[in-house]
Amino acid sequence: PALSLLLGLTCYRDFLGTNWSAEAQALRSRGAAELGDPLAFLAQPLGVGGVVVTADGLVVFLRRSLKVGEAPGLIDIPGGHPEPKTVAPEVSEDSITVEQLCGRRVVRELFSSVLTEIRDEVNVPLACLSEPVLLGIALNHTSAGRPSAEFYIRYCWTR
């Protein structure tokens, strides 16, 4: 089965200005009323997260820093965001347009970005991580329904 994602470009500033705005609920209501989509006026950056399972069947969890805006101090799985700059390295980050983003490279970045985030957050070598398997898209309701692609990844080590 094929999965189609309709993605665009956004930035952290727009995410904070819509999803974290005091007007987030009003934006959802307006989107539903005017366009039939409560998320139409929200930035909705796509995150990535990895359910990392060790060779002996344990799942890796992290405690989020108290110095982050989203879910400070909570338990979470490793994750972050894909980087458009990785898909279009020849273009400055401020100048990237959707037309410059090749679909295959975007898909590759979605799958590789979760591995990079796990490497960086858990401090494990990429060689010990399996290819990610997409589990689905989860909506984070602490930030007005921000979507995150969630993956299953095996980790070759034991505790």
At 119-152, the pLDDT tens digits run 999 999 999 999 999 999 999 887 778 899 999 9
pLDDT of residue 140: 86
Number of domains composing the chain: 2
Please give the residue range of the domain that contains residue 77: 46-154
Mean pLDDT across 95-101: 87
Pairing, β 47-54 against β 62-63 = unpaired
Residues 73 and 134 grouped into a single domain = yes
Tell whether 2 is covered by a domain. no
Of the listed ranges 10-14, 39-43, 119-123, 140-144, the least confidently predicted one is 140-144
Mean pLDDT across 100-113: 91
- Sequence-ordered list of residues with C-beta below 8 angstroms from that of 20, at least 6 positions apart, any chain: 69, 143, 144
Residues 23 and 98 grouped into a single domain = no
